[in-house]
Amino acid sequence: MATKKLTINEIPIDDLIPTPDNPRVLHTKTDDFLELVNSVKGQGVLVPVLARPHPTEAGKYDMRYGARRLEAARIAGLATVPTIVRELSDEEAFERTFVENYAREDLSPIEEGNAVATLLEKYRGDAKAVAAKMGHSEKWVYLRAHLKKLIPQWRKRASLHGDVSVGHLALIARLPEAAQKQLHARHRWGVGNRSLSDLEKWLNELFVHALAGAPFALPDVTLDKKAGACASCPKRTSRRGQRELWHEEGDDIGKADRCLDSKCWARKHAAHVRAREKALKAQHKDLVILAGTHADYYTVQDLKKKHGSAYGGYIENYRKATADETGSRPALIITGDHAGELRWIKPKEKASRSAGPKKPPMTLKERRAVLERKRGFEVLKGLGEQVARLTLNSLPLRDGKRDTDLVVRLAAAFGTEHTLNEECNVRGPGWGRFWPQPWKQLAAKDCDFQELLWERVRAVLVARITYTGPVTQTPEWKIRDAKHVAQLCGIDLKPLRKAAAETYPQPKSWKGLNADGTPKAKKQLTTKDTKKLKVNVAQAPPPVDGIELKPIPGVCQVCGCTEYNPCPGGCAWTDETRTLCTACAEG
Distance, CA of 456 to chain centre: 37
pLDDT band at 534 (very low <50, low <70, confident <90, very high): very low
- Of 496, 512, 503, 498, the C-alpha closest to 567 is 512
Question: Which pLDDT belongs to residue 420?
Answer: 41
Interstrand relation of 61-65 and 16-18 (parallel, antiparallel or unpaired) = parallel
The mean pLDDT of the chain is 77
Judged by average pLDDT, the poorest of 42-56, 236-250, 541-555 is 541-555
This prediction has a pTM of 0.45
Q: Is the distance from CB of 583 to CB of 573 less than 8 angstroms?
A: no
- Of 568, 560, 575, the C-alpha closest to 522 is 575
* CA–CA distance, 532 with 582 (Å, rounded to integer): 11
* CA–CA distance, 292 with 310 (Å, rounded to integer): 15
Q: Which secondary structure element, helix H or strand E, spans residue 333, and what is its range?
A: strand 329-333
- Dihedral sign, Cα of residue 113, residue 119, residue 125, residue 128: negative
Judged by average pLDDT, the poorest of 300-304, 311-315, 331-335, 560-564 is 560-564
Judged by average pLDDT, the poorest of 1-5, 32-36, 86-90, 152-156 is 1-5
User: 426: helix, coil or strand?
Assistant: coil
Residues, the chain, total? 587
Q: Which domains does the chain have, with CATH numbers?
A: 7-190 (3.90.1530.10), 284-349 (no CATH), 364-507 (no CATH), 521-587 (no CATH)
Q: When comparing pLDDT for 344 and 32, which is higher?
A: 344
Highest-confidence segment of 52-61, 452-461, 521-530, 549-558: 52-61
Q: Is the distance from CB of 94 to CB of 51 less than 8 angstroms?
A: no
Judged by average pLDDT, the poorest of 377-381, 394-398, 487-491 is 394-398
Distance, CA of 285 to chain centre: 41
pLDDT band at 552 (very low <50, low <70, confident <90, very high): low
Tell me the Cα Rg of the chain: 43
What percent of the chain clears pLDDT 90, i.e. is strictly above it?
3
* Distance (Å) of CA 486 to CA 116, 171, 456: 76, 65, 17
Q: Output b/e per residue, 306-318; b: 16+ Cβ within 10 A.
A: ebeebbbbebeeb
Interstrand relation of 80-85 and 49-53 (parallel, antiparallel or unpaired) = parallel
Q: Is the distance from CB of 202 to CB of 194 less than 8 angstroms?
A: yes
Question: Which pLDDT belongs to residue 392?
Answer: 78
Residues 6+ apart with CB under 8 A from 204: 258
pLDDT band at 1 (very low <50, low <70, confident <90, very high): very low
Other Cβ atoms closer than 10 A to 277: 17
* CA–CA distance, 230 with 233 (Å, rounded to integer): 5
Q: Which secondary structure element, helix H or strand E, spans residue 198, and what is its range?
A: helix 196-207
* CA–CA distance, 156 with 508 (Å, rounded to integer): 71
Interstrand relation of 7-12 and 49-53 (parallel, antiparallel or unpaired) = unpaired
Residues 6+ apart with CB under 8 A from 566: 512, 581
* CA–CA distance, 260 with 149 (Å, rounded to integer): 15
Q: List 50's β-bridge partners, or say none.
A: 65, 84
- ∠532-538-539 over CA atoms, to 5°? 105
What single letter denotes the amino acid at residue 161?
H
Residue 574 has pLDDT above 50, yes or no: yes
Residue 471 has pLDDT above 60, yes or no: yes
| DSSP string over 242-256 | THHHH--TT--HHHH
| DSSP string over 435-501 | S-SHHHHHH-SS--HHHHHHHHHHHHHHHHT---S-GGG--HHHHHHHHHHHHHHT---HHHHHHHH
Q: Is the distance from CB of 111 to CB of 105 less than 8 angstroms?
A: no
pLDDT band at 331 (very low <50, low <70, confident <90, very high): very high
Q: Is the distance from CB of 406 to CB of 499 less than 8 angstroms?
A: no
- Of 138, 179, 183, 182, the C-alpha closest to 164 is 183
Question: Which pLDDT belongs to residue 122?
Answer: 77
Q: Is the distance from CB of 142 to CB of 244 less than 8 angstroms?
A: yes
Q: List 547's β-bridge partners, or say none.
A: 544
- ∠260-255-242 over CA atoms, to 5°? 35
pLDDT, tens digit, 9 for 90 and up, residues 184-205: 887 777 787 788 888 888 888 7
Cite the DSSP H helix spans in 123-251.
127-134, 138-145, 152-160, 166-173, 177-187, 196-207, 243-246
Question: Which pLDDT belongs to residue 258?
Answer: 85
